[in-house]
Amino acid sequence: MVVPLDSDGVRLDRFLASVLGDQSRSQIQRLIKDGHILIAGSTVKPNHPVKTGDSIAVDIPDPVDPMPQPESLPLPILYQDPDVIVVDKPAGMVVHPAAGHTGGTLVNALLHHIDDLSGIGGERRPGIVHRLDRGTVCRATCAL
């Protein structure tokens, strides 16, 4: 794509956010940092000001949706019986893998601690029937 006259001097990430409606600015910044966006064949920073006539190459890789893998993570188990497990989810721990957080999640820890985690919630969110924000501290009850 070529930068038009009315976008001269705009930050690269902001320019691309305005023309690539399906990508957030943070996704665009990640693409820039990972070398998927080039100006005249060269890597630049997200805050690089574009110039009229700049040639911008954008390569958006296919999304990766990996199956969650077991990870040995600290997981305080408060209660467990044949049907449920109650764990102390700390602040900062994402509940299930998603874009930007493919590991280090509660699901990864549960898969390590439980041999046969329930299919409730689907393959990507086994045992999980709710959505909690990363910053939430809670006692999470998960199906076994």
Q: Which residues are catalytic?
A: 133
Tally the C-alpha atoms within 13 A of residue 9's C-alpha that lie toward its C-beta.
1
Tokens 């040639």 — which residue? 55
At residue 91, what is the residue type?
Answer: A
Pairing of strands 56-58, 77-80: unpaired
Pairing of strands 37-39, 56-58: antiparallel
Q: Which residues have a Cβ under 8 Å from the Cβ of 99 and sit 6 or more positions away?
A: 63
C-alpha to C-alpha distance for 28 and 64, rounded to whole angstroms: 16
Give me the count of residues in the chain: 144
